[in-house]
Amino acid sequence: MSASDRESAKGREVDENVTDVAGASASSGGMDAAWTYLENHRDADAKTATIDLAALRRKIDFRIVPLMFLCYTLQFLDKVILNYAAVMGIRTDLNLQNNDFSNVATFLFVGLLCFEIPNIYFLQAVPAAKWLGLNVILWGTATACGAAAYNYQTLLVSRVFLGVFEATIAPSLMLISSQWYTKSEQAPRFSFWYLGLGLGQIVGGAVSYGFQHMGPNAQLAGWRTMFVTLGVLTVVAGAAVILFLPDTPMKARWLSDNEKVALLKHVSVNKTGIENRKFRASEIVEALMDPQLYLLLLSVILLSVSSGVVTSYSATLIGNLGYKPKEAALMNMPSGAVSIFFTLFVGIGIRRQSHRWAWIIACIIPAIIGGALMSFLPTTNRSGILAGIYLVNAVVAPLAVFYNWTVANVGGATKRAFAAAIISGSFSLGNIIGPQTFQARDAPEYRPAKLAVMGTQAGCAFTTFLLFLYYVWQNKRRNNTSDVETEDAALSPEAWARMTDKENKRFRYTY
């Protein structure tokens, strides 16, 4: 047999294998929608070589990332305005006593946590972009309704509903981001939309400062007007998401068929799929048996205890240093700058050097130092304590890395939706614990809460390192020196079939 005959026979064998996999997956309802799109646009495949991927990425960045950034900014801003309302008279206006304020801060995350379970179904049954936009509108409405609160109970109800509707924000953004970018490209994009948290801190301080200048004769108190204004802006943003954020790359009107095919081929190396609406209970069982999910969950809970402190009590801690309410709002703004710096720091660092675990620990170290400054310096050392409050905000950056890690290392549509919801829920659990470390009996120094920041960050650094060791071990078990991963090798029905990271032996974990 000649060399050309052997190549022809080999090609026929590959085509037959591809057809067998595609047929089996299609018959089981397990084929990803991206593979179907590629099959229906084979004529565009030959033209993809002329597509400039760098230019295509920039085009996607300008269309997708700003909307995700806006959503995350508003969800944090709508959440953190309670922090600023604390120095704007909400305690007095609503007659909040003892631990009422801590409970209100906590139950937002209780609502968020409780809705994560049903959210798993909606994330797979409903297009992610439409589901996100609807919930943005609903949580904007809940924020505005908070202005009508007249006692502890009514404020509590409005914040619980805010938590219910915000439950989808992190899982939705995780899944949407994973549709458009490869694993290495995802990290900086996660960081870019996650910058909304830092901007929310800065804008929140400025907004609070502005609304505190409303005169005593105003029809609505400053904090009530702030709630209504931000709620309306959020509703408008939700409508923009529904109108302008595509559900999948295949439905992007601003991409040509050639660009869509080039993009799908490019992201096929992820082996996590784009869209598959068939629910597989077996993937939930696999997720519950997966050690990586528990290490991710524990790490995010430990990390989020400090996040809960930052979200709900930073303005209070600054106010307890002797600053007036208006000053406390402005003095909290540098916290956002610190968050932005460290978020960009890890996003760019991971894109260039990977090693997500090391970048997480690099952010945790200054947060531990900040916790020590807050805990052990005398209250007369305002500058040192302020520095500690600001440094603790370094801890918000690793959350974006954990979000990215989740969607990068979990394959299978149902399993990935479940993991995204669980990790988002663990963030809520940490935020439930965080405000509860602030007890009225510990005022004004709140020393136990400050010590909790240090302890939980140290614990997160340890579990993060364990997660790194687990991924290294798993990859060594799967490694085959003859198995070279390329885009062409990944572009097969196997890459788009509903296969989890455990089922797909070609899958490699990133760390």
Residue 289 CA to residue 418 CA, distance in Å, equals: 13
Number of helical H runs and strand E runs in the chain = 23, 0
pLDDT at 62: 93
pLDDT at 9: 42
* Three-state SS sequence of 201-236: HHHHHHHHHHHCCCCCCCCCCHHHHHHHHHHHHHHH
Cβ atoms of residues 401 and 346 within 8 Å: yes
Half-sphere exposure of 358 (CA within 13 A, CB side): 9
Residue written as tokens 């007659």?
A: 95
pLDDT at 44: 65
- Would you call 182 exposed, middle or buried from its count of C-beta atoms within 10 A (0-12, 13-18, 19+)? middle
> Bridge partners of 31?
497
- CA nearest 301: which of 114, 452, 426? 426
- CA nearest 101: which of 493, 479, 440, 423? 440
Digit-by-digit pLDDT tens for the chain (511 residues) are: 444 444 344 333 333 333 333 333 433 345 677 777 877 777 766 667 778 888 999 999 999 999 999 999 998 888 888 877 887 888 888 988 888 887 887 888 888 888 887 887 887 788 888 999 999 999 999 999 999 999 999 999 999 999 999 988 888 888 888 889 988 888 788 888 888 888 887 887 788 888 887 766 767 888 899 999 999 999 999 999 999 999 888 889 999 888 888 888 888 877 776 776 677 888 889 989 999 999 999 999 998 887 766 666 677 778 878 888 777 777 878 888 888 899 888 888 887 777 889 999 999 999 889 888 887 888 788 889 888 888 888 888 888 889 888 888 988 878 888 888 888 888 878 877 876 776 667 776 677 777 777 888 889 999 999 999 999 999 988 886 445 445 454 455 555 556 788 887 778 888 8
pLDDT at 215: 64
Look at the alpha carbons of 270, 271, 273, 279 in this order and tell me if their dihedral is positive or negative: negative
pTM for this model (two decimals): 0.77
Taking the CB of residue 301, how many other CB atoms lie within 10 A of it?
Answer: 23
φ/ψ of residue 123, rounded to 5 = -65, -30
Half-sphere exposure of 464 (CA within 13 A, CB side): 27
Chain centroid to Cα 82, Å, comes to 21
Residue 146 CA to residue 52 CA, distance in Å, equals: 48
pLDDT at 310: 65
For the stretch 78-99, what's the b/e string if a residue is b when 16 or more beta carbons lie within 10 angstroms of its beta carbon? bbbbbbbbbbbebeebbebeeb
Residue 105 CA to residue 96 CA, distance in Å, equals: 12
Query: In this structure, which long-range contacts are made by residues 16-21, counting pairs with CB atoms below 8 Å and at least 24 apart in sequence?
Result: 18/492, 18/493, 21/492, 21/493, 21/494, 21/497
Taking the CB of residue 357, how many other CB atoms lie within 10 A of it?
Answer: 22
pLDDT at 216: 67
* Three-state SS sequence of 261-321: HHHHHHHHHHCCCCCCCCCCHHHHHHHHCCHHHHHHHHHHHHHHHHHHHHHHHHHHHHHCC
Residue 271 CA to residue 452 CA, distance in Å, equals: 39
- Would you call 485 exposed, middle or buried from its count of C-beta atoms within 10 A (0-12, 13-18, 19+)? exposed
- DSSP code for 126: S
Residue 330 CA to residue 202 CA, distance in Å, equals: 8
- CA nearest 360: which of 457, 450, 449? 457
- DSSP code for 511: -
Q: Domains along the chain?
A: 53-259+266-496 (1.20.1250.20)
CB contact set of 254 (below 8 Å; sequence gap of 6+):
59, 63
CA dihedral 205, 207, 213, 219 (to 10 degrees): -130
Angle at 267 between CA 261 and CA 268, to 5 degrees: 85
Distances (CA, A) of 322 to 221, 378, 379: 23, 13, 10
Cβ atoms of residues 283 and 294 within 8 Å: no
